[in-house]
Amino acid sequence: MIPGIHGICSGCARTLASPSAFERKDFRKPLAGVSFAQKLVKFVYSIAITSQKGGVGKTTVAINLAHAFARAGVRTMLVDVDPQGSVGLSLTRQSRVLPGFYDFLDDPAIPVDKLIVPTRLATFSLIAAGQASNYETGGAMSGSHLARTRSFLRAVASRGFEMCILDTAAGLFGVTSDVIASSDAIVIPQQAEPLGVRSVPKMLEGLNRIRILNPRMKVLGVLLTMIQHDLAESREAGLALRQLLPEEMTLQTTIPRDGIFVRASAKGLPVGIMDDGAGAQAVFDSLRLEIEAKIEKSKSYT
């Protein structure tokens, strides 16, 4: 088996060496259309959006990529695991009072259903960060929430979600490290500016430490964000990144710098919902297709 293509089995509470949701032909069909046997064992493919640096566009990517999957008919859960609650702040105005992911970490009795916030799109739901004040300084020891994070993902799978996108805080320590160590795959947004690009190899080194806990984790790639095609430095940063990393480590899709992302975030919307959002949404549709193809490709090596 190739790393990163395994789902989490809600039925037997362990990671399986068997097909994930992406590997089943019925991936896009609603749950009602699948057989009884398939309903008993459900899988979710989890992607953590992570970076060592802050402000590189993680939350923007998490929201819009999750929305792109949901629009394509994939039952998608977007989870805010940043104690600052960025997704929640963007998408649900009452996020500070909503129970969420950190309440699940703290309270073994809390059912995940209590945390799920549905949206107007039937295939798209959210879980806010919740009451995270104990975690806001990032002081939690790596590994101390691993079992609980894995159990969270199993609970999400058991509710019929096929894709789970997790927006993390910057850095690779504490709960973020446990989320990465529990996810099937990661995407690493990186702002297209020269200094940032030079920090990428260090980030990848940091990931090796987490890989020990999760050898199957697939790095879907570094994603260039806020690229400015009219600015030589920004274009050069993109080229430098491609020279620095093996081809499969960078995503071909790049996210342009565009004021629509700031406007969408101020309104609490994915860009695809904005009146003039078709172009920005198309970029995220390309990213979704590229990610799906990468997952399919890794499957074909098994």
Ligand X SMILES: Nc1ncnc2c1ncn2[C@@H]1O[C@H](COP(=O)(O)OP(=O)(O)OP(=O)(O)O)[C@@H](O)[C@H]1O
The residues that touch Mg ion, with contacts defined as CB under 5 A, are 58-59, 86
The pattern of x and - marking residues 162 through 201 that bind ligand X according to CB under 6 A reads: --------x-------------------------------
How many residues touch ligand X (CB under 6 A)?
18
Task: Select the residue interacting with ligand X from 214, 225, 250, 298 (CB under 6 A).
Answer: 225
Task: Select the residue interacting with ligand X from 43, 101, 135, 261 (CB under 6 A).
Answer: 261
Mark the segment that binds ligand X (CB under 6 A) among 176-184, 215-223, 229-237, 250-258: 250-258
Work out what residue 170 binds among Mg ion, ligand X, none; the CB cut-off runs from 5 to 8 Å by kind: ligand X
The pattern of x and - marking residues 95 through 134 that bind ligand X according to CB under 6 A reads: ----------------------------------------
Mark the segment that binds ligand X (CB under 6 A) among 4-12, 146-154, 233-241, 258-266: 258-266
Instruction: Considering the complex, state which of residue 63 and residue 98 has its C-beta at the smaller distance from ligand X.
Output: 63
82 interacts with ligand X by CB under 6 A: yes
Task: Select the residue interacting with ligand X from 89, 116, 180, 255 (CB under 6 A).
Answer: 255
Name residue 103's amino acid: D
Planar angle of CA 145, 146, 149, nearest 5 degrees: 85
Instruction: Considering the complex, state which of residue 59 and residue 298 has its C-beta at the smaller distance from Mg ion.
Output: 59
Work out what residue 145 binds among Mg ion, ligand X, none; the CB cut-off runs from 5 to 8 Å by kind: none
Query: CA-CA distance, 146 to 138, in Å (whole number)?
Result: 15
Q: The tokens of 8 are what?
A: 């989490």
Footprint of ligand X on 31-70 (CB under 6 A): 54-60
Least distance to Mg ion from the beta carbon of 189, Å?
10
Mark the segment that binds ligand X (CB under 6 A) among 112-120, 237-245, 253-261, 285-293: 253-261
What residues pair up with 216 in beta bridges, in sequence order? none
- The 3 state secondary structure assigned to the chain is CCCCCCCEECCCCEECCCCCHHHCCCCCCCHHHCCHHHHHCCCCEEEEECCCCCCCCHHHHHHHHHHHHHHCCCCEEEEECCCCCHHHHHHCCCHHHCCCHHHHHHCCCCCHHHCEEECCCCCEEEECCCCCHHHCCCCCCCCCCHHHHHHHHHHHHHCCCCEEEEECCCCCCHHHHHHHCCCCEEEEEEECCHHHHHCHHHHHHHHHHHHCCCCCCEEEEEEEECECCCCHHHHHHHHHHHHHCCHHHECCCCCECCHHHHHHHHHCCCHHHCCCCHHHHHHHHHHHHHHHHHHHHHHHCC
Least distance to ligand X from the beta carbon of 90, Å?
8
Interacting residue ranges for ligand X, rule: CB under 6 A: 54-60, 82, 86, 170, 225-226, 255, 257-258, 261-262, 265
